[in-house]
Structure 1
Amino acid sequence: MDANAWDERYGAEERVWPAEPNLWVVRETSELPPGRALDLAAGEGRNALWLARRGWSVDAVDFSPVAVRRMADLAERQQADVHAELADVTRYAPQESAYDLVLLSYLQLPRQDMEGVLDTACRVARPGATLLLVGHDISNLDHGIGGPQDLQVLSSTDQVTAAWEPYADIAVAEVARRPVGDAAALDTVVRAVRR
């Protein structure tokens, strides 16, 4: 989907995603000491706002003007330290070695674009920083529920670990079962620590 399609989707509903953060983001970051975080493709900002409530200073980027406005409004109302920025993450060039946490949550891109964003995540993470990707796993197509139905944009632990292993130590690389009603979605969860 392009930015216009996401704008239409965000504009059609008061809230597209739940207000609470993603459960894998909570599981993988709750024990981290607060610092500076970058949330790439932040959408309405549910993860960014949760991190800010935990003491993080968050730069949150998305290419949907509607989502960025919504996120900025929520951050202002909650007095949260979230800087919402309008940008396409495939072309975004944040400051290198500037972040203690770089988060990619359900950013579903074609392989070549995703490889570029995974590389950017490594470059902008400080030594010792956490890299976290949560995405719809390729196995979800046949064995899970929901998510994109396009094989070209689904993630895998192999894809992410291959991109991050030259720069970071992989701490978690799993296909996790996320409850969706009585069924389950299958998510790629990869957490790494930048060397």
Structure 2
Amino acid sequence: MMQAEFWNQKYQESDYHYGLKPNRFLQLLLESRPPGRLLFPAEGEGRNAVYAAKLGWEVYAFDQSERGRAKALELAEEQGVELHYEICDAREFKSELRFDVIALIYAHFPAEFRKELHQQYADLLKPGGEIWLEAFAPGQLEFQSGGPKNPEMLYNPEMLEADFSELQIRQSEIKRYQLDEGPGHQGLGEVVRFKAYKVVKD
């Protein structure tokens, strides 16, 4: 399983590597619409999934890290919520369900299969369902606040607009802001924020 041991090691400590607070962009979006069914690919230690579940969302998640899943389920139990959380590689995930939202929060995939995965996620949306994405942009290489060091794993708006070309784009922009997400994301960072939805066909 690709890089599972890397992430198991990163999540080994009892503290949460990316903190317990939800991602700021995700938090604003979650609070802006009524709850539905939500998928978190590459969810790690579960901070975002647990927050969504507390707001009443039906939350599904997966990751390749067994340690990440264990910490996510522990956090969910502490907070009194339920997560449907699988262990699998991103390319192995399959579901008969369709989702109101798929949230890709720092889910960086290798260039050779990124577009294919993004198109699969678009297919998993219900009509009217949305993709919400925040990830590091190329300018992040200037900063020490986290993220991949391989330029091919950084995202830009043009790339995402092409990957999700069958969706209606609502937001696609690069932002710089102060990250405060546990020890893993601290300090000024450059991110791409992207939001798109599946058009309801007559």
Same fold at TM > 0.5: yes
What is the deviation of 1:184? 1.7
Match of 1:191, SS? strand
What is the deviation of 1:139? 2.1
Match of 2:18, SS? coil
- Give the alignment's Cα RMSD to 1 decimal: 1.8
What is the TM-score when the length of structure 1 is the normalising length?
Answer: 0.91
What is the deviation of 1:27? 2.4
1:45-60 map, 5 Å: 45-60=46-61
Q: Identify the residue that residue 74 of structure 2 maps to in structure 1.
A: 73
Residue range with higher mean Cα deviation, 60-69 or 105-114: 105-114
Report the AA paired with residue 168 of structure 2: D
What is the deviation of 1:13? 4.4
Percentage of pairs with the same residue:
25
Q: Identify the residue that residue 183 of structure 2 maps to in structure 1.
A: none
Offset from partner CA, 1:139-187 (integer Å, 9 cap, x none): 2224774322110111111111111122x11101011222047952011
Report if aligned partners of 1:28, 1:191 keep a CA contact under 8 Å in 2: no
Q: Identify the residue that residue 101 of structure 1 maps to in structure 2.
A: 101
What is the deviation of 1:55? 0.7
2: CA distance, partners of 1:73 / 1:143:
32
Q: Identify the residue that residue 22 of structure 1 maps to in structure 2.
A: 23
* 1:177–1:144 Cα change, 3 Å: farther
Report if aligned partners of 1:56, 1:81 keep a CA contact under 8 Å in 2: no
Q: Identify the residue that residue 38 of structure 1 maps to in structure 2.
A: 39
Q: Identify the residue that residue 192 of structure 2 maps to in structure 1.
A: 188
Q: Which runs of 5+ in 2 are unaligned?
A: 181-185
Count of residue pairs the alignment pairs up: 193
2: CA distance, partners of 1:180 / 1:45:
18
* 1:183–1:10 Cα change, 3 Å: closer
Q: Which runs of 5+ in 1 are unaligned?
A: none
Report the AA paired with residue 138 of structure 1: P
Q: Identify the residue that residue 140 of structure 1 maps to in structure 2.
A: 140
2: CA distance, partners of 1:99 / 1:123:
10
Offset from partner CA, 1:45-79 (integer Å, 9 cap, x none): 11111111111010011110000111112212222
2: CA distance, partners of 1:138 / 1:113:
18
Q: Identify the residue that residue 123 of structure 2 maps to in structure 1.
A: 123
Offset from partner CA, 1:81-102 (integer Å, 9 cap, x none): 3111111112211225x10010
What is the TM-score when the length of structure 2 is the normalising length?
Answer: 0.88
What is the deviation of 1:124? 0.7
* 1:6–1:193 Cα change, 3 Å: same
Q: Identify the residue that residue 176 of structure 2 maps to in structure 1.
A: 177
Match of 1:188, SS? strand
1: CA distance, partners of 2:52 / 2:110:
28
Flag the structure with more relative contact order, 1 or 2, with Cα contacts below 8 A and sequence separation at least 6.
2
Report if aligned partners of 1:173, 1:191 keep a CA contact under 8 Å in 2: yes
1: CA distance, partners of 2:14 / 2:179:
20
Report if aligned partners of 1:173, 1:188 keep a CA contact under 8 Å in 2: yes
What is the deviation of 1:16? 0.8
Report the AA paired with residue 137 of structure 2: D
